[in-house]
Amino acid sequence: MKSSSAFISTVLSCVLLLLPLQAAAAEDEQAKLADLKNAISTLEKQLNKRDKDKNNLVAELKKNEIAASASSKKIRQLNSKINARLAKLANLGKQQRQLKIDINRQNAAVSEQLAAAYKMGAQEPIKLLLNQEDPQQLARLLKYYNYVLDARSEKLAKYTADIEQLAALQNDVVEEKRLLDSAKLELQKDQQQLLANNQRRQATLKQLNASLQSDKSKLDKMLKQRSALEELLKNVSRVVKKIALKTPPGSRSFASQKGLLRWPLKGRVAHSFGSKRNGSLRWDGWLIGAKIGEPVTAVHDGQVIFSNYMRGFGLLIILNHGDGYMSLYAHNEELLKDTGDLVLSNETIARAGDTGGLDKPALYFEIRKKGQPADPKKWLGKR
């Protein structure tokens, strides 16, 4: 018995010693996450400062695309809210119908109970006393009488409660319909706003493309965009290496999944790795055809180290998978994860779009190994 108590005491002591260590580790992780966010925020500010620029059309395109993204997000949220309210209304209607059926069934029984109670009056127990001489029989009758009274009261209480619940449900239905109408009206306004944003975007994009008539100007623009991405990745890699943040506790490393990774989405590859893009410039990843709003998923467990708009790539999200591996997802309509978020393989991180100046929706996808582009074909499995 003593040895058992000593063992328990030892275990408790160990647990108590570990608690401060776990708290310190958690605080350390929070501090690292804060450092990452601050470092990335600084990089983003530098990008924004450089983007305030020289080219008003590019700045206008960015503004319109971000506004359209916000409208799309709000519309998606409103549609979700509307569907939830419709489901709630359907459920309330079902409850109403069932309550009406129950109340109609109870009407006859309650009417009989009330009529019987009125006829018997308050002298019922006295009559029983005056008409009985056998005490045992009297006790049985009184017990039965009380049982009948309880049953009567229970039925009346249930009947009253059902009527009150029906009245409350009717009020709920009226309120839900009001909220639904309000959400639909808000949705119409946001859809009109999205249409206006997209029209402005198309006009700006048309002007921008017209200003890049020559192949040389187009190549110069792409080279600048590529240079900006390389600079961003270089800075991000430096930050990640310095902070040494952990990736989610996955069972397999990124390297071990070569040739087995899930596709970020299931579209057709419009441009493959290494194919000619413009002049001497070649594709460092894949451009995959997509539908507007289509879910974009993480190819492996990782941590978001960039989630923002970047010129030429639109709404861009970058994941760190550890051991020098990263994946990039560009031209999204909406970003669903923020810097510092941990994500799991096949988790939705964004919705596909055409931001960054595309003429039709697509996802630009890259895999990086120690900063160098790697062919996705060698890493992704069969669809």
CATH of the domain at 302: 2.70.70.10
Residue 223 lies in a domain: yes
Return the residue matching tokens 């119908």.
97
Range of the domain at 180: 79-207
- Rounded to an integer, what distance in angstroms lies between the CA atom of residue 343 and that of residue 34? 18
- Rounded to an integer, what distance in angstroms lies between the CA atom of residue 349 and that of residue 246? 19
- Same domain flag for 164 and 220: no
Residue 332 lies in a domain: yes
- Same domain flag for 276 and 362: yes
Higher-pLDDT residue of 371 and 111 is: 371
Quote the number of domains for the chain: 2
Higher-pLDDT residue of 272 and 5 is: 272
List, for residues 334-355, the tens digit of each pLDDT value.
Answer: 999 998 888 999 999 999 999 9
Of 172, 207, 242, the one marking the end of a domain is 207
Of 175, 207, 239, the one marking the end of a domain is 207
Residue 355 lies in a domain: yes
Q: Is the pTM of this model over 0.75?
A: no
- Same domain flag for 123 and 153: yes
Higher-pLDDT residue of 295 and 55 is: 295
Residue 365 lies in a domain: yes
- Same domain flag for 95 and 182: yes
Stretch 321-330: mean pLDDT: 92
Stretch 321-333: mean pLDDT: 93
- Same domain flag for 224 and 355: yes
- Same domain flag for 157 and 235: no
Residue 293 lies in a domain: yes
Residue 373 lies in a domain: yes
Measured from the Cβ of residue 374, the count of other Cβ atoms closer than 10 Å reads 19
- Same domain flag for 160 and 264: no
- Rounded to an integer, what distance in angstroms lies between the CA atom of residue 327 and that of residue 93? 48
Residue 269 lies in a domain: yes
Angle between helices 135-210 and 124-131 (to 10 degrees): 150
List, for residues 156-179, the tens digit of each pLDDT value.
Answer: 677 677 777 777 777 888 888 888
Both tokens assigned to 315: 């709404």
- Same domain flag for 289 and 343: yes
Angle between helices 56-120 and 135-210 (to 10 degrees): 170
Q: What is the mean pLDDT of the chain?
A: 78
**Percent residues over pLDDT 90 in the chain:** 25
Stretch 312-333: mean pLDDT: 93
Of 141, 172, 207, the one marking the end of a domain is 207
- Same domain flag for 226 and 151: no
Output the pLDDT for position 173.
80
- Same domain flag for 250 and 182: no
- Same domain flag for 338 and 253: yes
Residue 20 lies in a domain: no
**Percent residues over pLDDT 70 in the chain:** 71
Q: To the nearest 10°, report the CA torsion of 228, 268, 296, 240.
A: -40
Helix (H) or strand (E) holding 132: none
Measured from the Cβ of residue 376, the count of other Cβ atoms closer than 10 Å reads 21
Cα 176 to Cα 80, 171, 173, 179, 256: the distances in Å are 15, 9, 5, 5, 52
Both tokens assigned to 294: 């289509």
- Same domain flag for 274 and 313: yes
Residue 97, pLDDT > 90, answer: no
